Amino acid sequence: MSKSMSLKEAVAVVKAAEGTRWYAYLVLSVATGIRTEEIRRLGWDRIGIDGEVAVMDVWTSVREDGETKTRWSRRSLELPRIAVRALRAHRAMQARWRLAAGEAWQEHGLVFSSQVGTELDRHNVLRGLRRVMGSAGLDAREWTARELRHTFVSLLSDHGVGIEEISLLVGHDGTDTTERVYRRQLRPVRCSAAEAMEEILKEART
């Protein structure tokens, strides 16, 4: 059964990742609740981090009426400042990879890529994240990448963000799905999500 990290655990993991290639991945996962399959194919063209308001567009394939036919659903998420700073640092790191790779670099426009520009393998992602979690003092074998999304829901709910807003942020069609999947993480009440997450993760900046 999936679980979520406590605030103390989440902050420890984010701090342990600082300076590594996984820092921005972890910050974005915990701060936005993006799905593992969404973050691996996320492109730089879907992120605006240089304007006054930082926004990320997330596209998800959605099955219609249980059929094989799918449609694409988009949700736009305002990014907290900690995520913006992490993404800017990651963009600079990726530019260094591109320079070092030279002709071996394969440009796919991915935010999170290998050091030659290709899409990340989910098993490699899990190994990398578990190394960071182990460094943070967690039993890495107990955690998967998908539980970063559960952590996002739990942290926001504990901070007073309501289920209606959380449902929109995680890309559900309605609150019924959110309640069913994340019933263990949800608490009552409400406030704004981007500012809430900035406040929640403030300890990770110190």
3-state secondary structure of 82: helix
Q: Among residues 3, 25, 69, 127, which one is catalytic?
A: 69
**Residue 69 is among the residues annotated as catalytic for this protein:** yes
Q: Among residues 21, 90, 130, 172, which one is catalytic?
A: 172
Burial code (b: 16+ CB inside 10 Å, e: under 16) for 39-75 equals bbebeeebbbbeeeebebebeeeeeeeeeeeeeeeeb
**Residue 150 is among the residues annotated as catalytic for this protein:** no
Q: Among residues 35, 46, 146, 190, which one is catalytic?
A: 35
**Residue 81 is among the residues annotated as catalytic for this protein:** no
Q: Among residues 40, 130, 149, 159, which one is catalytic?
A: 149
Q: Among residues 25, 90, 150, 182, which one is catalytic?
A: 182
**CA 97 from centre of chain:** 22
Q: Which residues have CB under 8 Å from 98's CB, separation 6+? A: 105, 117
Could you tell me the two tokens for 90?
């990651």
**Residue 159 is among the residues annotated as catalytic for this protein:** no
**Residue 172 is among the residues annotated as catalytic for this protein:** yes
Catalytic positions, written as ranges: 35, 69, 149, 172, 182
